[in-house]
Structure 1
């Protein structure tokens, strides 16, 4: 004895005759409902596949953009390192040039040199005078 569709409502949520859709639809109606459900399922599947493809395409585009940015950043970093190395070489050249320059004598050293020149020139003059007296 099937009690699920009985009129006494023992297994139904409401008393009285059964009101479930499957009990009210004819086989033709059920087939149409199943076709509509199948179409909705296929449509949902197609939409999900399209969304998945879009997500994959977006992910691939994002990866490509990230790679492009990474390569640009790497190029900039290489340029910065080349500039740094160039500047280090220039600093070394300038330092070598500065170290090769003799220091500027201070004022006392200059005056001493002037005094020495005066002494030499006076000595030469004295030497010439003494040569005149000796001849």
Structure 2
């Protein structure tokens, strides 16, 4: 960069690059379970997803894991969609502006949180881990 502030909000490609970098930093043995996880960057969660989660404001959802946690998978699973981590660009950008946290740190936090769901951790489990409990 030339020292000037960016004139456009980061696009989906920037968010995806930050997310892929965050995934690349996840250590073994966890990393070996993430190779088949699909990363999807969308502007907002769709209405069906928001309704299913009881969320009225699409800016409240920055990321979501869709899939079956690692411990619940079976060799007999077939015909299912791959596990996916969805990141919602507009909600991420809104939180980035509101919190002042770097976009890289925010995207990394959301990715790690959604990876936690991939491994079967609940939101409460992850908050306890983050709080050092």
> TM-score range with shorter-chain normalisation?
under 0.3
- Structure with the bigger RCO (C-alpha within 8 Å, sep 6+) is 2
Task: Answer 1 or 2: which has greater helix percent.
Answer: 1
Task: Give the alignment's TM-score, normalised by structure 1.
Answer: 0.17
More strand by share: 2
